[in-house]
C-alpha cells in the first residue's frame, strides 16, 4: 500500500490509485501495455514477470486491502497458488459451505494424497478454533457462498496463527469496501476479480493480497513459474471497473436491503438469508427445487446465470450443481442484486414468485 493512500477513504483510493504520474501530456489512465518482451537491464525483462497495466490494478487493490496485491488469470488460479503453500499431507481447514471451485480443488488434492482437509461449520467458532490445532492453512469465507454464513475472522485468525497456520480469507462477496481481513489478523486475501472488483461480467481474473513481504515473494515466484498471469486487456478492464466499485457496492447494497424486507413478506419465500451488508441475498423457496427452477426461469430483468457481482441482477438455484453440498436447501436461490431501479427489480421478481404460490 502506497503511503499516499493511507489517509484516504476507500472510494477515493478506488478512483485515484494506480494512475500515471501527473506530468504534462501524461495520460490520465494507465494505458494497455501489449508486450511479451522488454529491453533487458530492468526489473521485468519478460511478459510473464510483470506488466505496467497489471501493476496499476495491483496498486489499487493492494491499497484498498492494506497490503500488496498480485493479479492472476482467474480466481481459481489464485486459489491454487495459495493452496500450494501447504506442504505434503498438510491439513487445510475450510468451510463446509464455500465456493465450489475451492472445495473441488481441495477434494482433488486430498484424493491424490497431496493435502488433508477438515470441513467445518464456519459459524461454530469454538469448533473451528479446535480444528486449527493441527492445521497448516485455514481457509475462510465470510459471508460464505451460497449460505451467507459469517465467520469470526479475528478469533479464528488468532487461534490459527498461534498454531502456526496461514489464514486465508476469500473476500469476494464483501469486497475491501465492507471488510478488510488483513486488519482482522488474516495472512492472505483472495478475490475473484471477475465479480465485484471488475463488476461488468466481462473479465475473468483473480487476485491475492498479503501484508507479508516474504509471502508476497513466494506467491510472485509461483505465479512466474506457473504462468497464471492475467491478460493485459483483462487487467485494464478490471482497473476501469474498480474505479466505480464504491458506487456500485453502495447501490447494490441499498437495493438488497429493500428486497430483503419485501421477500420476507412473500408467501412463496420460506427463509431469507442476508448477512446485513453487501449485495448478495439468498432466498429459500417454500416450494423447493421445482419452485426455484420456475422462479429463475420466469423473470424479464433478473438473469438466470451462475456468476455474480455485476451491474445486472442475476440469480440461480444452487443445488442444480451436482457438487453443491446437500446441506444447502434444494430451494435456495442465490441472488446477486445489481444496480437497476429497485422497484423494477421487485416487480419482476414478485411476478415470478406469485406464479409459484
**pLDDT digits 0-9 by tens, 23-47:** 999 999 999 999 999 999 999 999 9
What are the structural domain ranges in the chain?
Answer: 3-242, 245-354
Annotated catalytic residue 38: no
Annotated catalytic residue 170: yes
Given pLDDT bands bounded at 50, 70 and 90, which one contains residue 7? Answer: confident
The H or E element containing residue 96 is: none
274 close to 284: Cβ distance less than 8 angstroms = no
Mind listing the pLDDT tens digit for each residue in 126-180?
999 999 999 999 999 999 999 999 999 999 999 999 999 999 999 999 999 999 9
Marked catalytic residue, from 68, 99, 317, 318: 99
Residue 2 in this model has a pLDDT that exceeds 80: no
Domain 3-242: give its CATH architecture.
3-Layer(aba) Sandwich (3.40)
Residue, of 1 and 22, whose pLDDT is higher: 22
Given pLDDT bands bounded at 50, 70 and 90, which one contains residue 308? Answer: very high
What is the distance between the alpha carbons of residues 214 and 349, in angstroms, rounded to a whole number?
49
pLDDT of residue 237: 98
Cell of 121: 461449520
For 245-354, give the CATH class: alpha beta
Marked catalytic residue, from 195, 317, 319, 334: 195
Instruction: Compute the average pLDDT of residues 186-192.
Output: 98
pLDDT of residue 5: 65
Annotated catalytic residue 195: yes
Q: How large is the C-alpha radius of gyration of the chain?
A: 21
Marked catalytic residue, from 19, 38, 48, 116: 48
Annotated catalytic residue 348: no
Marked catalytic residue, from 68, 152, 166, 170: 170
pLDDT of residue 201: 97
Mind listing the pLDDT tens digit for each residue in 194-245?
999 999 999 999 999 999 999 999 999 999 999 999 999 999 999 999 999 9
The H or E element containing residue 208 is: strand 206-210
* Rounded-to-10 torsion of CA 91, 96, 101, 104: 60
Amino acid at each position: 500500500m502506497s503511503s499516499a493512500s493511507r489517509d484516504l477513504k476507500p472510494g477515493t483510493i478506488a478512483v485515484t490509485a494506480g494512475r500515471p504520474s501527473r506530468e504534462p501530456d501524461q495520460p490520465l489512465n494507465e494505458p494497455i501495455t501489449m508486450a511479451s518482451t522488454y529491453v533487458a537491464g530492468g526489473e521485468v525483462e519478460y511478459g510473464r514477470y510483470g506488466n505496467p497495466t497489471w501493476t496499476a490494478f495491483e496498486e489499487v487493490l493492494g491499497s484498498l486491502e492494506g497490503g500488496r496485491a498480485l493479479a492472476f488469470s482467474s480466481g481459481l488460479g489464485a486459489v491454487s497458488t495459495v493452496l500450494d503453500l501447504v506442504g505434503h499431507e498438510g491439513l487445510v481447514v475450510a468451510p463446509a459451505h464455500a465456493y465450489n471451485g475451492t472445495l473441488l480443488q481441495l477434494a482433488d488434492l486430498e484424493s491424490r494424497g497431496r493435502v488433508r482437509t477438515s470441513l467445518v461449520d464456519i459459524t461454530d467458532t469454538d469448533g473451528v478454533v479446535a480444528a486449527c490445532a493441527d492445521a497448516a492453512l485455514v481457509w475462510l469465507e465470510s459471508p460464505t457462498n451460497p449460505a451467507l454464513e459469517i465467520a469470526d475472522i479475528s478469533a479464528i485468525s488468532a487461534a490459527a496463527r498461534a498454531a502456526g497456520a496461514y489464514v486465508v480469507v476469500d473476500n469476494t462477496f464483501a469486497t475491501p469496501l465492507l471488510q478488510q481481513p488483513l486488519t482482522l489478523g488474516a495472512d492472505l486475501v483472495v478475490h475473484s476479480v471477475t465479480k465485484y472488483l471488475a463488476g461488468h461480467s466481462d473479465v475473468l481474473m483473480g487476485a491475492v493480497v498479503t501484508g507479508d513481504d516474504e509471502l508476497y515473494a513466494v506467491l510472485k515466484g509461483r505465479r512466474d513459474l506457473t504462468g497464471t498471469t492475467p491478460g493485459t486487456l483483462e487487467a485494464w478492464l478490471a482497473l476501469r471497473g474498480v474505479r466505480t466499485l464504491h458506487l456500485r457496492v453502495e447501490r447494490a447494497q441499498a437495493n438488497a436491503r429493500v428486497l430483503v424486507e419485501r421477500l420476507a413478506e412473500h408467501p412463496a419465500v420460506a427463509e431469507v438469508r442476508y448477512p446485513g451488508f453487501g449485495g448478495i441475498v439468498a432466498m429459500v423457496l417454500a416450494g423447493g427445487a421445482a419452485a426455484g427452477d420456475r422462479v429463475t426461469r420466469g423473470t424479464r430483468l433478473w438473469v438466470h446465470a451462475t456468476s455474480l457481482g455485476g451491474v445486472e441482477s442475476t440469480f440461480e438455484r444452487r443445488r442444480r450443481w451436482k457438487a453443491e453440498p446437500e446441506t444447502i436447501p434444494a430451494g435456495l436461490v442465490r441472488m446477486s442484486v445489481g444496480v437497476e431501479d429497485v422497484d423494477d427489480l421487485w416487480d419482476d421478481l414478485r411476478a415470478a414468485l406469485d406464479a409459484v404460490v
